[in-house]
A and B are shown apart, each in its own frame.
Chain A
Amino acid sequence: MKIRSLLAGVSAICALAGAPAQAQDKPFAGVTVNVITQTGAIQEPLQRRAPDFEALSGAKINIIAVPFSDLYQKILTDWASGTNSVDAAVFAPQWMVDYIAGGYLDDLTPRVDADKDIQQDDVGAFFRDFSEKYNGKTYMITLDGDFHMMYYRKDILDAAGQKVPTTWDEYLEVAKATHGKDMNGDGTPDFGSCIAKKRNAQSYWFVTDVVGSMTQSKGTNQGTFFNTKDMTPLVNNDAFRKALDFLSESTKYGPPDELNLDVSDTRPLFASGRCALNLDWGDVGTISIDPAQSKVMGKWGAAVMPGAKEVLNWDTGKLEACSAEICPHAVDGVNHAPFAAFGGWGGGINAAADPKVKDAAYAFFSYMTQPAQSNADVTVGGTGFNPYRASQLSYSDLWKKANMSEEEAKVYLGAINASMSSPNMILDLRIPQNQKYQQVVLDEAVSRFLAGEIDKEATVKAVEDGWNELNDEIGKDEQLQFYNATIGAK
């Protein structure tokens, strides 16, 4: 009876999305929903569309924005302490496991199953079946699609006689060849490579891009963070060392303050024409077609993340040349492992919220993800939302209207499609307290390495010891079970 009434409310608001608002049709008049998310991108579309949603439904959506690095703990503190001032959150699917362990997230399965307006079949299988779900139940509504990709300047590479890099070694060669050239005509030398490397920000994911292409070659369920037999960190090996070398070497061809740049800094750098190569999520593509901030319109391209011709032998810890047997998914002898870093921002609802507020929160997330809204939002750079629906991954009037040429769409959407459909895609870490493994241990050790505080071997040791300590502290066997379950390891 309760579920039926909830669904009735949801259906009402979904119907309202396409109809003129009338006061008597506002099912959530007088309801206020406090939604927390990160400052800046992601906050922007939620904040911008909240008044429209209020006009349709009567629900007041109060967006609370905090810096990315504080978001996980802010949500957790509010819900674990029983304060419950936050009714819903837009956050990383990775953190879902910790919130579910505490019983703080509402099971959205019946609502999603009954909600035809969100057109779940149109949502990419990865987001629908992995990012939104845990143990077969749906806890999040995907609002954003996230894959790491490589961006490049076509004109600069052509002028330098360079091809689009397909391996990390080639990436460094191109970065070296183009570094120091004036790429935007302002008379100042620009940079061969721009990668966010700031500590306590969103940089630590880029380490996995490089390591993963050497540790994971036999498909998604092989895994890239731990040995699936005994939870040994895949760190003390030549793949991790080579990745550290790459990060160190690429810094030579980057902006002088690259160690203090987050993605919010490197994106405008690429769009203002200052970088020949760049690694990032899909946001750079939509920023690059925005005439208000882009100086690279018509000059840029995107590709699936570079890979490696040598991959790790897990038993020996050494790199071996790819063969059909070792790298069954290789393309032209190069093993690519596109990283579904972060997994796409999504909305989840506080299980302890008032039922009426939960209804309104779900209706808001449903409204945001419906193609009428999301298909437009993913074409705008400032939203932080990237394509995640099949209907968004082909060239359409929406992209044309957003100033993306067919050629740009071919490479940009093609790179997302290729990443999303790759059988060797890397799934982000989703074991309990994964934030400590990545945002604390990995981020801190790599940051110290790049700052010259510790050498390569000390970095390897710091990550290996830190991850082992966490495994022992939280429970190695339980963590192994979680890890194997999330990547589908047998």
Chain B
Amino acid sequence: MTAPVDTTMEAAHGQGWAERLDRRSGGIMVLPAVIVLLCFAIFPLIISAYLALSRFALAPGGFTLKFIGLTNFRKVLVGSQQYHLLGQFGAFGLVQWLSVGLVAAGLLVLLGRYFTRGGPTVLGTVGRVLAAAVAMGLTMLAVATVAPGGVPGTVVNTLLYVVVGVFVQFALGLGLALLCGQPIRGRNFFRVVFFIPLMVTPVGIAYTFRMLADMQKGPFAPLVRAFGVGEWSWATEAWSARLMVLIGDTWQWTPFMFIVLLAAVENQPRDQVEAAQLDGASGFQIFRDITWPAIAPVAATVVLIRLIEAFKIIDLPNVLTGGGPGLATESMTLHSFISWRTQDLGSSAAVGYMLLFISTIVCVSFFNFVVRPARRFEA
């Protein structure tokens, strides 16, 4: 008589367990990802925060970490290493004041538009003010260090790689995508060719570029000599060295832009394009009124992904120039790496956190003010 009761209870118990499992299946499924994230992203982030506030020293049998507060941040922001991170400030002239004034005016207009068009929220206001302050600060830093007598530090070098590099890569990628989106012969061949650089490891690209750009033995050396500039080298001048890093980075990353934008271009509404063509619309009109609205959300997203990646540039400047001449091509990631390599783990972590702060503000702002409006535009 007891057996059926037990069976029933067991069945009920089993059902209860299954239900509980079912109810919590979402959490259970996510748990492995959370553990991985905690171990490989959050935990190192906390440890590096502690490192940024400490001084590392070797000691018998291991090492010591002494808490020193904000000393490492002071050192790179206002102390003996300020020239390295922020650069040396030049004299402000008319051009510099004009540039800063224009950016300030632009930011004020954008902020004003937010308040006058209705619906400002506390969070929105704080976010916009913070983004505007960071944008203004970075603009002033860039203008001051590029001004006569100034020398850009690793923050401005990184911004150059990010802003100019991503813009050029996007423009080239979009151009190639629009070309390969046309019904031309051999377009599949071109798609594969354009995609190849993305498959090569960044260090490989850096070494390839170093060989290509060698002014003494490189393949273009005879050409350069024929033009009578055999006594000049890109590696000895700051801006030409930065340009060479940008060219290498563009060669590597344009295919990424190209392949994603090509998919977006091919997904644009063909019927609308054909209708516009029948109505005699020009190529530019079709691009402006049909293609661009269709690919804008994808374009904004791919630029965001590339922005995040661009902030981490290290391989090319490290291999091409070792960060030189002087500090001309050193990015923030390379700056952090060089500090780490020389046992200055505190400064290395402090620079890493500065990079995290800048890249987060820039990327979150880009997401809020470009990617989301683009998606709304599509909807």
Contacts and interface: CB of A to CB of B under 8 A. Distances in A.
Contacts of A469: 80
Contacts of A103: 60-61
A394 to B, nearest CB: 37
A79 to B, nearest CB: 9
A436 B343 contact: yes
B80 A98 contact: no
Interface stretch (B15-23, B33-41, B225-233): B225-233
Interface size class of B (residues with CB under 8 A): 35 or more
Interface in A289-324: none
Contact of A451 (B214, B230, B325, B340): B325
Nearest to A274: B216
A258 B61 CA distance: 42
A177 interface: no
Given A80-B62, A82-B62, A259 B325 contact: yes
Contact of B324 (A255, A259, A433): A259
B76 to A, nearest CB: 13
Contacts of B58: 76, 80, 98, 101-102, 432
A103 B59 CA distance: 8
Contacts of B117: none
A290 B238 CA distance: 37
B296 interface: no
B143 to A, nearest CB: 18
Contacts of B324: 198-200, 259-260, 447, 451
Contacts of B322: 69, 198-201, 260
B276 to A, nearest CB: 52
Most buried by A among B214, B238, B325: B325
A70 interface: yes
A257 B60 contact: no
Given A73-B343, A102-B60, A102-B62, A257 B326 contact: no
A258 B326 CA distance: 13
Interface in B170-222: 214-216
Interface string B304-336: 000000000000001001111111100000000
Interface in A183-202: 188-189, 198-201
Nearest to A101: B58
Nearest to A82: B62
Interface string B144-174: 0000000100000000000000000000000
Contacts of B325: 199, 259-260, 447, 450-453
A256 interface: yes
Interface string B251-281: 0000000000000000000000000000000
A447 B343 CA distance: 21
Given A102-B59, A257-B216, A257-B233, A453 B327 contact: yes
B235 interface: yes
B341 A73 contact: yes
B327 A444 contact: yes
A466 B328 CA distance: 20
Contact of A80 (B63, B231, B234, B341): B63
A440 interface: yes
A269 interface: yes
A202 to B, nearest CB: 11
A483 to B, nearest CB: 18
A187 to B, nearest CB: 10
A28 interface: no
Contacts of B344: 436, 440
B342 interface: yes
Contacts of B326: 199, 447-448, 450-454
A11 interface: no
B236 interface: yes
B328 A451 contact: yes
Contacts of A76: 58, 343
B80 A260 contact: no
30 contacts: A72-B341, A73-B340, A73-B343, A80-B58, A98-B58, A102-B62, A102-B63, A199-B323, A199-B324, A199-B326, A200-B318, A200-B338, A201-B322, A256-B232, A256-B233, A257-B214, A258-B236, A260-B236, A260-B321, A433-B343, A436-B342, A436-B343, A444-B84, A448-B326, A450-B325, A450-B326, A451-B236, A452-B326, A453-B325, A453-B328
Would you list the 4 A-B pairs with minimal beta carbon distance, nearest first? A451-B326, A451-B325, A260-B235, A257-B233
Given A98-B58, A102-B58, A435-B343, 16 more contacts: A69-B322, A72-B342, A76-B343, A80-B58, A102-B59, A103-B61, A188-B225, A198-B322, A256-B232, A257-B236, A447-B327, A450-B326, A451-B236, A453-B238, A453-B325, A469-B80
Interface of B: 55, 58-63, 80, 84, 88, 151, 214-216, 225, 230-236, 238, 318, 321-328, 338, 340-344
Interface of A: 69-70, 72-73, 76, 80, 82, 98, 101-103, 188-189, 198-201, 255-260, 269, 274, 432-433, 435-436, 439-440, 444, 447-448, 450-454, 465-466, 469, 473
